[in-house]
Structure 1
Amino acid sequence: MIDMVVPELGEFSLILALCLSVLLAIVPLVGASRGNVLWMNFARPLSKGMFLFTLFSFICLSWSFLYNDFSVAYVASNSNSALPWYYRMSAVWGGHEGSLLLWALILAAWTLAVAVKSRNLPQDIISRVLAVMGWISVGFYLFILFTSSPFERHLPAFPQEGADLNPLLQDFGLIVHPPMLYMGYVGFAVSFAFAIAALLSGRLDAAWARWSRPWTSVAWAFLTLGIALGSWWAYYELGWGGWWFWDPVENASLMPWLVGTALIHSLAVTEKRGVFKSWTVLLAIFAFSLSLLGTFLVRSGVLTSVHAFASDPERGLFILVMLAIVIGGSLLLYALRAGQMRSESSFGLLSRESLLLVNNVLLVVSCAMVLLGTIYPLIVDALGMGKLSVGPPYFNALFVPLGAILVVFMGIGVISRWKQMQLSMLVQQLWLPGVVALVLGVGSTWLFAAELKPWVTLGLVLAWWVVLSGLRDLYNRLRHRREKLAGLLKQTRSYYGMVLAHLGVAVLVVGVALVSIYSEQRDLRMQPGDSISFRDYTFIYDGNRHVEGPNYTSDQGQIRVLLNGEPYTEMHPEKRLYTARGNVMTEAAIDPGFTRDLYVALGEPLENGAWAVRVQYKPYVRWLWLGGLLMTFGGLLAASDPRYRKRRAMAAA
């Protein structure tokens, strides 16, 4: 009997969460403006209640998927009784409505985390922060309930079987990728809330940057991990062997990441030196606004992509209005308060502040370039001026040089000093890492390929430059200490988080340079007994065999691989037919390695038992995602620095 009312309980719970979010948006904010402690004290219990009701609503939807309640329209459209249970659970966020409910749950979780972990902050500040989070929640709850409810029923008649989950999403990568990405997207709402709270209170000192910084680092780390997982999924699941296509929806996640990276560095300057206050506030506003823009692009129907969810213009209009309110309202408030934001100190032209500002500008310009390439074709199409395609050549031609310059300044900024530094001293610090990086970069390029291709050489030189400049900075910190090990242990988690993140950038640069230039690919027709050799490997095609899966049938290729003429491994690429929807999907076979991947994918069946086969050799492709993981761990390590908790306590005292 309880199964029959679970969707209604989920809907009702979501309505209660909306009611609590309205109270959270209003009561603590009014209390903070009037100095009413009782009203401000409502912020935390309201945050907890909003989270609990949203969590219960999410559990109700998950229950409907797990027990195949096809009377729920969303379940019938995105699940099937033959679907394995773990894919049924990931199908909860595999479509538009469920992904928005996941977004609302993560937003409620971030709100709860701020409420629980910020007990040492001034009461008026945390009340305003949670109230801003409440306003954002109101917008998303209204969006779900009025345009995108996942609990709508097929009544009185409903299908006895579901349409199945999109086969592209029946993969482990899509179980973990969306939650991680949303954790990053929604996490920037906390940075936004702290910035707006600072503007509302008029307390535009360095304290709000100190409070906001660990939350921003965690959000950035999750977004980094989400993007890396998305790249990994596209590499092995789509069957083309690529890792980044400059798809508009990929760009939608990259843009807030770029601005979020600038925000992290700008918060550091604002916290330590009391400068860049207005710039930091703007970055916090733009980081969250770009997250909302990504939501609009994915759900408005203006894009066609394997990543896009919805094609209902009404839904897109709702998000567009919400985006206009967030950007317009926050910029208006910024304009009213901008005159109060004055720097607490000065700095010279050659200083860490100046170099971080240069890095910030490069990151924002890179984001603007990606935004232009993503939005311009949509604007041209909307104005009836025809179809325009902006593809990888545009993005690569602009983004790669900007990225190279950014990495150069990254190494300089690490070694530079706050406030002012003499040019002669900076040159003295940099010349040795620069010369060694040049020698090692050129030498490692030659050892790898016995040739010097410009972009590969530049990439490896820059990677060594980042590593060696970081080592030079560590040497500078330890050279006057007698106990080197004690000196290493005395460095802060924030410092080591920065080191780890920069090392991740270097590893990523190596992966990008080598896999982009030295990948090898063969597309050929193969019959049983045919073979192909390149590099040190020989691929022998032994035919196909039929495989029955839980909700698909498959033609599985049997390919033996020899290394220098000796048996090495077997690879089994597949061509799957998902029976519920009739979709045919490619499942690549990958032999992973630290320095290379072997990648085999089946194309179309040909005459006389032959198949089209794609064989690829991908050098150092795993370093792309290793770099992403290092950056993720770096962000989380920096956020865990205990000095943030101590400083919050000191600020409260």
Structure 2
Amino acid sequence: MIPEIGHFSLILALLMASLAAIAPLYGASRNDQRLMSLAVPLMVGQFLFILIAFAALMQAYLVSDFSVLNVVANSHSLKPLLYKISGVWGNHEGSLVLWVLILSLFGSLVGLFGRALPLSFRARVLAIQALITSAFLLFMLITSNPFERVIPAAIEGRGLNPLLQDPGLAFHPPLLYLGYVGLSVAFSFAVAALIEGRLGPLWARWVRPWVLLAWMALTAGIALGSWWAYYELGWGGWWFWDPVENASFIPWLIATALLHSTIVMEKRDALKRWTLLLAILGFSMSLLGTFLVRSGVLTSVHAFAVDPERGLFILILLALAIGGSLALYAFRAGSLEAGGLFAPLSREGALVANNVLLSISAAIVLVGTLYPLFLDAVSGAKVTVGPPFFEISFVPLMVLLLIALGFGPLLAWKRGDIGRALGMLRLAGLAAFLGAGGAYLIWGPGPVMAFLGFALAFWLLGSILTDMGHKAKITQRPFAPMAALGRLRRVPRGIWGMWSAHMGMAVLVLGITASESWMTEKLVLLHPGDATEVADYTMIFQGVEPVGGPNYTAVRGHFTVMKGSHHVAELYPEQRAYSAPPMETTEAAIYPLIMGDLYAVVGDPDGKGGWSARLYWKPLISWIWMGVGLMVIGGGLSLSDRRLRVGAPKRAAITTRPGPQALPAE
């Protein structure tokens, strides 16, 4: 009975979403306040019905209701509770329920917290959001019903892919969906602005928190996925330019560009059309990623390989959403008022350079991801675009981006002084030199690009310290430490957020550079008691033993790690065998240290008492996720800055022409 309630709730949600997509738009065109005011209750209503459906699906998984096909295909009675819960969205049908749940939640939040928006504009934003929800609900009910019954009920389920039975993968999809769907809000704001034909700095002020929230979720979700790949797949890497990885990375690059362009639009009333285009493209790339993951055209441990007919439905949705919004942009963008002017050498100019580099990077990743699929469809030729292509084309752009990140915050708005900025960046130049020299002293010779990476990371850290010192006025004489600290405490949280995010980028670069350039790897065959040297550590193989888990059996290896005569750690890598579904997985043993990770994987026996093993020393690899954490913290600090959410900046000496030019923030 409960699955039927969930199914019926999805039908009611579709009806409410369809009404919310039509009535407010018609009301806005007729200036009918009664119809426009229906948008918020309809959005909240559809969210509640989808929440009921999600709860019904969750209940089916928790009680192992094997009369529901989705539960049979993706669960098992012996699965641990966490993976029964994550199994709800660890499949195509369930992930769509989570998608529309988050989509309707965002629409409801926009309606509830956007009451200060003009009624007609808010009605259009919510109607577009409801239109997207309606399309996904229709797709789900026609092709991907999560409550389809099995008659008679199955005795047992087939289980969840063991690779997905991991805490990292339990939370990875929800975070990515928060990012994807958060960009839908910016998309709805952009399309509504194009329909109304008015745009201004307060539009940027309203949309920026949603973009920031989506960016934070995408950042955390991508990082969680890379961390899972690092410790779960057993090959020692954290990123392989997998097409499905790229499908989430492309929207992140565009969201990063959009986040910075909204700053220019808010501060200087510039880059209006460009910002609208980025808002459209950001969500469009999220839809493209959804198509790639669910169409069956990709083979990946991350992908849902489903019936191509479902992919065709999403492709049609993709064409309508992207084609329709870009057509509207082409038709209406020219009528928007041009933005403010600024010199190329200015804070705005640096942010434009940031946007250009990020957009080109996104285009490169998009081409590298889609080219093999296009070539296969046209000629049947099979090609692979792998890491070498992306590293050759992507890395130089990131070098330029890091240089720009050092300059940008030190330039003035509208017109900057390059001489003054260069003078302030002497500390950053010295830090870059010391960073490259320090890398050589610690790890010795290495690739030229490795030393360049360290130099750029320390350049960015030095520029951040320079900016902090400038705002604290540490050069003021006589120097008063307490007064300087007081000035730093008064710096707005948005600025602290920028510093934290840029510092996180520097730490991320240090982690990537060191781990890729000075990694030590050993592939060895060991017998119990054998020892091998890995970097400065001695790893002694103690043997293997059989162990059991809640729904698997395993062979567990045992390594003792020594550094000289000092005991460092005990490592226990495993080879697991699952029965439902039948599959073997590798569980790496990792011991993190400040300067790097010790990483061990036990392989297959040789039949003579020996076991193969892969042993690694990964310098600074944990700094990758430390850097990402600082970036997310920076986003949170900026999001908590009340100046970015409430009120409008007072602009003196600006003549307001007749008619509305911008959306009021309060």
TM-score, length basis structure 2: 0.95
Superposition deviation, residue 383 in structure 1: 1.2
Which residue is equivalent to 1:68?
64
Q: Select 1:194's aligned residue among 177, 189, 194.
A: 189
Superposition deviation, residue 566 in structure 1: 3.1
What 5-or-longer segments of structure 1 have no aligned partner?
A: none
1:126-162 deviations in whole A, cap 9, x for unaligned?
111111110110111011111111111111x232000
- Structure 2 residue matching 1:269: 3-state secondary structure: helix
Within-5 A mapping of 1:582-621: 582-621=582-621
Q: Select 2:287's aligned residue among 282, 289, 292.
A: 292
1:354-404 deviations in whole A, cap 9, x for unaligned?
121111111111111111110000001111331011101101111111111
- Structure 1 residue matching 2:147: 3-state secondary structure: coil
Taking only the aligned residue pairs, the percentage that are identical comes to 50
Superposition deviation, residue 446 in structure 1: 2.1
Query: Does residue 399 in structure 1 map to residue 404 in structure 2?
Result: no
Q: Which segment drifts farther, 334-343 or 401-410?
A: 334-343
Within-5 A mapping of 1:328-339: 328-339=323-334
Contact 2:272 2:339 in 1 (8 A): no
Which residue is equivalent to 1:39?
35
The residue type equivalent to 2:66 in the other structure is: F
1:496-555 deviations in whole A, cap 9, x for unaligned?
111111011000000010001111111111122222112222111122111111111111
1:453-480 deviations in whole A, cap 9, x for unaligned?
4112111111111111122222222328
Which residue is equivalent to 2:24?
28
Contact 2:429 2:462 in 1 (8 A): no
Q: Select 2:433's aligned residue among 430, 435, 439.
A: 439
Superposition deviation, residue 452 in structure 1: 5.6
Q: Which segment drifts farther, 642-651 or 6-15?
A: 642-651
Which residue is equivalent to 2:656?
none
Superposition deviation, residue 122 in structure 1: 1.8
- Structure 2 residue matching 1:335: 3-state secondary structure: helix
Alpha-carbon distance in structure 2 between the residues aligned to 1:559 and 1:576: 17
The residue type equivalent to 1:133 in the other structure is: Q
Contact 2:600 2:615 in 1 (8 A): yes
Which residue is equivalent to 1:555?
555
Contact 2:372 2:385 in 1 (8 A): yes
Query: Does residue 160 in structure 1 map to residue 155 in structure 2?
Result: yes
Contact 2:646 2:665 in 1 (8 A): no
Within-5 A mapping of 1:536-575: 536-575=536-575
Which residue is equivalent to 2:506?
506
- Structure 1 residue matching 2:546: 3-state secondary structure: strand
Superposition deviation, residue 426 in structure 1: 3.0
Q: Which segment drifts farther, 479-488 or 30-39?
A: 479-488
Contact 2:271 2:339 in 1 (8 A): no
Query: Does residue 632 in structure 1 map to residue 632 in structure 2?
Result: yes
What 5-or-longer segments of structure 2 have no aligned partner?
A: 651-663
The residue type equivalent to 2:578 in the other structure is: Y
- Structure 2 residue matching 1:462: 3-state secondary structure: helix
Q: Select 1:122's aligned residue among 115, 118, 125.
A: 118
Alpha-carbon distance in structure 1 between the residues aligned to 2:183 and 2:603: 41
Alpha-carbon distance in structure 1 between the residues aligned to 2:112 and 2:323: 30
Contact 1:120 1:649 in 2 (8 A): no
Alpha-carbon distance in structure 2 between the residues aligned to 1:648 and 1:119: 15
The residue type equivalent to 1:222 in the other structure is: A
Within-5 A mapping of 1:106-185: 106-155=102-151, 157-185=152-180
Alpha-carbon distance in structure 1 between the residues aligned to 2:58 and 2:646: 40
- Structure 2 residue matching 1:591: 3-state secondary structure: strand
Alpha-carbon distance in structure 1 between the residues aligned to 2:255 and 2:625: 19
Which residue is equivalent to 1:371?
366
Contact 2:209 2:645 in 1 (8 A): no
- Structure 1 residue matching 2:624: 3-state secondary structure: helix
Alpha-carbon distance in structure 1 between the residues aligned to 2:386 and 2:3: 43
Alpha-carbon distance in structure 1 between the residues aligned to 2:386 and 2:447: 24
- Structure 2 residue matching 1:239: 3-state secondary structure: coil
Residues 572 and 320 (structure 1), Cα distance of their counterparts in 2 relative to 1, 3 Å cut: same
Q: Select 1:353's aligned residue among 343, 348, 354.
A: 348
Alpha-carbon distance in structure 1 between the residues aligned to 2:648 and 2:23: 24
Query: Does residue 390 in structure 1 map to residue 410 in structure 2?
Result: no
Alpha-carbon distance in structure 2 between the residues aligned to 1:583 and 1:142: 35
Which residue is equivalent to 2:469?
475
Which residue is equivalent to 1:53?
49
Which residue is equivalent to 2:73?
77
Which residue is equivalent to 2:653?
none
Q: Select 1:98's aligned residue among 75, 94, 98.
A: 94
Superposition deviation, residue 205 in structure 1: 1.8
Which residue is equivalent to 2:376?
381
Superposition deviation, residue 565 in structure 1: 2.9
Superposition deviation, residue 492 in structure 1: 1.4
Contact 1:238 1:586 in 2 (8 A): yes
Within-5 A mapping of 1:181-330: 181-330=176-325
Superposition deviation, residue 487 in structure 1: 1.7
1:594-650 deviations in whole A, cap 9, x for unaligned?
221111111222212321111111111111111111111111221221113332699
1:8-53 deviations in whole A, cap 9, x for unaligned?
1111111111111111111112122222111111111111111111
Superposition deviation, residue 437 in structure 1: 2.4
Alpha-carbon distance in structure 2 between the residues aligned to 1:425 and 1:652: 36
Alpha-carbon distance in structure 1 between the residues aligned to 2:340 and 2:640: 28
- Structure 1 residue matching 2:608: 3-state secondary structure: helix
Residues 529 and 75 (structure 1), Cα distance of their counterparts in 2 relative to 1, 3 Å cut: same
Contact 2:205 2:645 in 1 (8 A): no
- Structure 2 residue matching 1:381: 3-state secondary structure: helix
Contact 1:539 1:561 in 2 (8 A): yes
Residues 202 and 494 (structure 1), Cα distance of their counterparts in 2 relative to 1, 3 Å cut: same
TM-score, length basis structure 1: 0.97
Alpha-carbon distance in structure 2 between the residues aligned to 1:61 and 1:605: 43
Q: How many residues of Structure 1 are paired with residues of Structure 2 in the alignment?
A: 647
Residues 460 and 645 (structure 1), Cα distance of their counterparts in 2 relative to 1, 3 Å cut: same
Contact 1:437 1:462 in 2 (8 A): no
Alpha-carbon distance in structure 2 between the residues aligned to 1:486 and 1:541: 55
Alpha-carbon distance in structure 1 between the residues aligned to 2:125 and 2:615: 53
Q: Which segment drifts farther, 56-65 or 344-353?
A: 344-353
The residue type equivalent to 2:470 in the other structure is: N
Contact 1:500 1:633 in 2 (8 A): yes
Alpha-carbon distance in structure 2 between the residues aligned to 1:433 and 1:19: 61
Contact 2:298 2:305 in 1 (8 A): no
Alpha-carbon distance in structure 1 between the residues aligned to 2:575 and 2:471: 56
